[in-house]
Structure 1
Amino acid sequence: MKRNVYQIHRRSFLKGAGVSIGLPLLEIMSPAISYARTIAKKPPLRLCALYKGCGVNPHSWDISGGTESDFELSKILQPLAPVQKDVLVLGNLDNQGSSDHMDAPGTFMSASRHRDKNRYSFDQRIADQVGGETPIRSLQLTADNVWKQHPWLNVLSYDKSHQPMRGQHDPQAAFDSIFKNGARVSRETELVSVLDGVKDASSALFRKASSPDRQVLEQYFDSLRDVERSIEQARANGREASVDAKLAKLDPALKAGNLGERIRAMLDLIVLAFWTDSTRVASCMLANTNSRIHYDFMGVNAEFHYVSHHVRNKKVLPAYDSINAWHTGQLCYLIEKMKTLQDGSGTLYDNSLILWGSGIKHGDYHSLTDLPVVLAGGGGGQVDLGRHVRYPEARPFGNLLLTLMKLMKAPADRIGDSTGLLPGITGKANFRRANQDDGSWRITKSDGNTLTAKGLLRIRIEDDLEYYLLRLSDKSDLEIRIPFMNNHKLRFDRNVGKVVEVTGQFREREGRKIVVSLKSVVPQ
């Protein structure tokens, strides 16, 4: 018998009446005979990009204290506690752009602004390299509402010709495109379950399969049923957008229902598509940057976008933090589900890369610096997980995209404003402590009602107040309480956690200087 003779090929499908479904990696896909031992084929790598718009409250996101491998998760990241050893939290990655809703999704995927001609996103660069090996080149999903007035808000992926690739917002339609052949089956005779259509083929496969393979197949078929049920549940709880005047203005044809169930169905679908090697690249818009979805399904009767503007309305902060923590919990759900699925000698999680984050940091100021980013998945053993890496100096976010492309075996010289590969992903970063006080943090000039000072910028939130503190070398703090638009025009909030030199007007209050208007801010 020849070497590399397979009992069934890795690209085998179960086929039936209008149905064709891929299979997870099985023992019987390994060479039957190869010099007296079975050689297992190395599982492929998969990439999943999950985008959550509307930014975060930095005070509730940032991790303070601890070391690279021994740290305490922040309030918003707390839902990741069960999988803390399986994630890599990254900090001080900056993106370019004008700090508005339009730039955020595109810069997150391409490190290029929406007005730039080169929008070729990193996921599609990878798909162009590996997509030819799977039935579906890449999968684009969007769980949030579709905004026709601002089309850039709806799009994460852009192809090689820089054209937008709109995501499928109906999980059932996405499921059908992967597992059903709509061209051969009319809507009237469409099968209730894809498993009904491959009953004979699956029975034949079970007879051929080994005992471990049968366990994998049973788990796979159970997962298929679970996805179908979750899609049915999401649709059952849906409603026609025409009954909701606000949603009707967005897209009259859109069926909007329980966002939580829709996201869960889409995450399950991504897992199935990866496990069956139907595709190796997927992206999902969990919430766009101008999201008007109400989160009443989790007890928050408010729009995500509305509560993200919290500087002038501190009463919305609990709701804002709760929504962001809920989204973090969905990442935890995805990680735990992928870890249960056998994939070669490891799990599906071991052979995947997951990029989760938002295109803006501060929800109200729309800052594109120090983006909230979590990297997960073993990447085939390439990623060193269970760490918090905050870069001493700001690095281009594009460097992370460039690094992920290399890990996915689709290397490139550059993407967007990238300057090179990002250290600290495949091994320990071991950065020295950033922002060390060299004794020069002080008020360097004070003339009339104008001063110049250097120090470490921090943020403080107390009840309905949000203001800044400039830590000086003598351990005192210079208060900075400036108007919203003064802050916004200078992009002042992006400097939190950095050493800066500020110049502005101040007032005396109870013997303390308080900066009330800024003229300039210069990072040191």
Structure 2
Amino acid sequence: MANLNLNHWRISRRTALRGLGATIALPLLDCMGALPAPTTPKRSVFLYIPNGVNTLSWQIEKAGRDFAFSTPLKSLERHRSDVTPISGLHHPMVLGKHHNCDKVWLTGANVPGDGGAFRNTVSADQLMVEVQGVSTRFPSLELAIEGHSLAWSKDGIQIPAERNSQQIFNQLFGVEKESKETLRRRLSRRGSILDLVANDAKRVAHKLGSQDRTKLDEYLTAVRQVETRTQRADEWLNIPKPTLAGGDASRLSQRLDMKKVADYHRLFFDLMVMALRTDSTRVISCMICSESNGGAIPDIGISQTRHGLSHHNGDPEQLRRLTQTDTFLVEQLSYFLDELKAHKEANGQPLLDTTQVLWGSGMAYGHSHGNANLPTLLAGGRALGYQHGQHLDFNLPKLGQYNVADANAHYRVCSRPVDGDARLSNLLLTMLQRADVKADRFQDSVRPLQELLA
């Protein structure tokens, strides 16, 4: 607070309470803008795992269509025609920096090497919201089984994630306990509070130092987001939430916890599928585990956190367990693809065909924090123009062949990019364009990945 002149300006208790009321009392308000005409859905789901993988057992060693899935990926064999494993991608501005990889996975922003505070940039999912989110009750869903949100606004502010499965169900399908008139009065009252907060902020902004202005700007960004959602929420009060069959409602609203990790993960995936099936949203991001202290899987006898396992120091048993957790997480992805494929839309097309799914991590391996050759899987989206069934490898044209038997040599591949132009932002740009976002570049992208397209 060194830049704040305490002798000339103090925030009054009344002003602080106004701000407190706006940021704490306001619930998530669901929709943005007047209801437009229905559009053809182009859906996107982003799924993040922390701390990389056991890259020695993960790496697919042959490019093209005649490849064999590695041990952790074998459950994807049944989805071969709908999935593309990708090798060699990286975020250039994150190389050599082991902190904040999760926070910039969908942004590609520069981060400080010491893990200190930084200002992020907009995440790819939120650019999709501007196009696909205008047609749905929820512009996007930010979820986290463990951890935090992957989504960041245009002002670089993190959008909060929901971690409670019952809250997610109620948000999507729950019956409002109050009448529409009561809800409208509440929305109007909140709008008035937001106006007061904005006016107070404008009045004092010029009296603040640079650091405090930055903090105030972050706060006002959050206020503006709530204000926009408040303005739009009234329109959706006249539109009933989807009604689920009794069996679906009971299954999706059940109370589970991490004592049964597989069931808990699949409950989140089931909620995502139902949100997409009912066109409640077309953009979802979900952190699967926390980078710092999550990821234990007692179902398969793994009590260690994923972060702990990633610091294996070459111990064979630790590596075996890490591969076991990699396998488990890919199996949950395979289940998600099963469910997306099983549901047919009105035109007979599988839901998976209109849904592009990105699964991956911002780190290749954790024990010495390599963040090139990121583990990356793209699935679905056949109706969006994708052609799957290949291993897209940006390393082999320059590398020639992999040698995972030499661990140190392969770790070097996962520490420094083989191809400097093989950027994760290229893939994110491709996904943006498939979702009808008018963009020629994203962050430090070089080109869209035409290799993925039919």
TM norm structure 2: 0.67
**Which residue pairs with 2:378 in the alignment?**
375
Contact 1:61 1:74 in 2 (8 A): yes
Taking structure 1 as reference, are residues 272 and 101 closer, same or farther at Cα in structure 2, changes over 3 Å only? farther
**Which residue pairs with 2:128 in the alignment?**
126
Given the alignment, which residue of 342, 345, 348 partners 2:351?
Answer: 348
Separation in structure 2 between the aligned mates of residue 106 and residue 339 of structure 1, nearest angstrom = 30
Matched, 1:422 2:419: no
RMSD: 2.5
Separation in structure 2 between the aligned mates of residue 316 and residue 118 of structure 1, nearest angstrom = 34
Contact 1:143 1:259 in 2 (8 A): no
Taking structure 1 as reference, are residues 184 and 402 closer, same or farther at Cα in structure 2, changes over 3 Å only? same
**Which residue pairs with 1:396 in the alignment?**
423
**Which residue pairs with 2:327 in the alignment?**
325
Matches within 5 A, 1:79-478: 79-96=75-92, 97-114=94-111, 117-144=119-146, 146=147, 154-184=148-178, 221=244, 225-226=247-248, 228-229=250-251, 231-234=253-256, 238=257, 257-345=259-347, 346-391=349-394, 392=397, 393-394=419-420, 395-427=422-454
**Which residue pairs with 2:73 in the alignment?**
77
C-alpha displacement of 1:172:
0.8
Contact 2:51 2:307 in 1 (8 A): yes
Separation in structure 2 between the aligned mates of residue 347 and residue 57 of structure 1, nearest angstrom = 33
Given the alignment, which residue of 41, 44, 58 partners 1:44?
Answer: 41
C-alpha displacement of 1:121:
0.1
Taking structure 1 as reference, are residues 114 and 138 closer, same or farther at Cα in structure 2, changes over 3 Å only? farther
Between Structure 1 and Structure 2, the one with more strand by share is 1
Contact 1:91 1:372 in 2 (8 A): yes
Q: Deviations over 1:365-414 (max 9, x none)?
A: 22221110000012424000111110233411111101100000013233
Separation in structure 2 between the aligned mates of residue 129 and residue 327 of structure 1, nearest angstrom = 31
C-alpha displacement of 1:95:
1.1
Q: Deviations over 1:227-280 (max 9, x none)?
A: 63254251xxx4xxxxxxxxxxxxxxxxx5433322211111111111111000
Q: SS where residue 93 of structure 1 aligns?
A: coil
C-alpha displacement of 1:107:
2.4
Stretches of structure 2 that go unaligned for 5 or more consecutive residues are 1-37, 113-117, 180-239, 398-418
Separation in structure 2 between the aligned mates of residue 358 and residue 266 of structure 1, nearest angstrom = 19
Between Structure 1 and Structure 2, the one with more helix by share is 2
Matches within 5 A, 1:9-24: none
C-alpha displacement of 1:42:
7.5
Separation in structure 1 between the aligned mates of residue 341 and residue 276 of structure 2, nearest angstrom = 13
Separation in structure 1 between the aligned mates of residue 98 and residue 163 of structure 2, nearest angstrom = 20
Contact 1:378 1:385 in 2 (8 A): no
Separation in structure 2 between the aligned mates of residue 113 and residue 260 of structure 1, nearest angstrom = 35
Q: Which amino acid aligns with 1:81?
A: E
Q: Which amino acid aligns with 2:341?
A: K
Contact 1:227 1:268 in 2 (8 A): no
Taking structure 1 as reference, are residues 114 and 379 closer, same or farther at Cα in structure 2, changes over 3 Å only? farther
Separation in structure 2 between the aligned mates of residue 182 and residue 338 of structure 1, nearest angstrom = 28
TM norm structure 1: 0.59
Contact 2:95 2:372 in 1 (8 A): no
Q: Deviations over 1:272-294 (max 9, x none)?
A: 11111100000110012223342
Separation in structure 2 between the aligned mates of residue 308 and residue 359 of structure 1, nearest angstrom = 13
**Which residue pairs with 2:55 in the alignment?**
58
C-alpha displacement of 1:298:
2.3
Q: Which has the larger radius of gyration?
A: 1
Separation in structure 1 between the aligned mates of residue 72 and residue 339 of structure 2, nearest angstrom = 21
C-alpha displacement of 1:100:
4.5
Deviates more, 1:311-320 or 1:129-138: 311-320
Aligned residue pairs, count: 327
Q: Deviations over 1:453-511 (max 9, x none)?
A: xxxxxxxxxxxxxxxxxxxxxxxxxxxxxxxxxxxxxxxxxxxxxxxxxxxxxxxxxxx
The answer to which structure, 1 or 2, has the higher relative contact order (CA under 8 A, 6+ apart) is 2
Separation in structure 2 between the aligned mates of residue 279 and residue 263 of structure 1, nearest angstrom = 20
